[in-house]
Amino acid sequence: MTFDLLYPSAFLIGFTGGVHCFGMCGGIVGALTLGLPSAPGHPWLARLPYLLAYNLGRILSYVVAGTLTGGIGAWAAHLLSIHHAQLGLQILAGLFMILLGLYLAGWWSVLSQLEQAGGILWRRVEPLGRRLLPVRTAFQALGIGLIWGWLPCGLVYSVLIWAVGAGGALEGGLLLLSFGLGTLPALLAMGTAAAALAGFVRRPAVRRLAGMLVILFGIYEIGLVVRNIVGVVSVVSN
């Protein structure tokens, strides 16, 4: 995928993946916002700094993970033929986008196995967050968000696999930053108008639409690789 489309695509995947965020993180947001101070007539105004801090921490954790995976991918590509490694990683990323779309739409839950594997790391990280509860300051909320970013999530794992082929540590970090910003509207909405929106995003039609959009991203990614291969073959044959 070209540089011009890489980061906007990651943002859109995060945005369309919001239907998964409601199911995966809705309970967490509800628990974290419970007991936060509220302003008469405008409860969300008092909660907003905490919600922003939660999500800032979460996105920072995504960026760290993306930087690591992007760097690992670039290192592996230098060990192999760079061109062939990049093509292979792009195909892998496209396949995971398709699996992610099937997962979001509720058609195939194969990525739930990735989430179970991620639970090994989560069991080590999660106790650190308990020390910051109950949340009384935005700084505590930031710390909780940093922990929250490592919650096992098939959506995040799929984008991390995409980051492996992004081209380097910087590109991987920016890819996850774009993705994290895309998830921000849904997760902020959960803290302010969760009851009104939860029913809408859980509708099967909404989930299927989001899943189909992500599947199209995956097909497009694979299509770019196939086009490159066909172009190389044509040049060689001529």
pLDDT at 195 over 50: no
Q: What is the pLDDT of residues 105-156, one digit of tens each?
A: 777 777 666 666 666 776 777 777 777 777 778 888 888 888 888 877 777 8
Judge whether 238 lies within some domain: no
Residue bearing tokens 């940093």: 146
What pLDDT, on a 0 to 100 scale, did the predictor assign at position 193? 56
Rounded percentage of the chain residues whose pLDDT exceeds 70? 65
**pLDDT band, very low/low/confident/very high, at 32 (cuts 50, 70, 90):** low
- Which of the pair, 67 or 195, is modelled with greater confidence? 67
Judge whether 235 lies within some domain: no
**pLDDT band, very low/low/confident/very high, at 34 (cuts 50, 70, 90):** low
pLDDT at 28 over 50: yes
Domain count, the chain: 1
pLDDT at 164 over 50: yes
Biggest CA-to-CA distance, the chain? 74
Judge whether 176 lies within some domain: yes
What pLDDT, on a 0 to 100 scale, did the predictor assign at position 67? 96
**pLDDT band, very low/low/confident/very high, at 66 (cuts 50, 70, 90):** very high
Q: Is the pTM of this model over 0.85?
A: no
Judge whether 99 lies within some domain: yes
Q: Which of 128, 123, 138 is nearest to 49 (CA)?
A: 138
Judge whether 39 lies within some domain: no
Judge whether 236 lies within some domain: no
Q: What is the pLDDT of residues 69-100, one digit of tens each?
A: 999 888 877 766 555 666 777 777 778 778 77
What pLDDT, on a 0 to 100 scale, did the predictor assign at position 61? 94
Mean pLDDT score of the chain: 75
Judge whether 168 lies within some domain: yes
- What is the residue range of 89's domain? 3-33+44-227
What pLDDT, on a 0 to 100 scale, did the predictor assign at position 192? 59
Retrieve residue 78's tokens. 């230098």
The three state secondary structure string of the chain is: CCHHHHHHHHHHHHHHCHHHHHHHHHHHHHHHHCCCCCECCEHHHHHHHHHHHHHHHHHHHHHHHHHHHHHHHHHHHHHCCHHHHHHHHHHHHHHHHHHHHHHHHCCCCCCHHHHHHHHHHHHHHHHHHHCCCCCCCHHHHHHHHHHHCCCCCHHHHHHHHHHHCCCCHHHHHHHHHHHHHHHHHHHHHHHHHHHHHHHHHCCHHHHHHHHHHHHHHHHHHHHHHHHHHHHHHHHHHC
Rounded percentage of the chain residues whose pLDDT exceeds 90? 11
- Which of the pair, 196 or 14, is modelled with greater confidence? 14
Average pLDDT estimate for 209-222: 78
Judge whether 233 lies within some domain: no
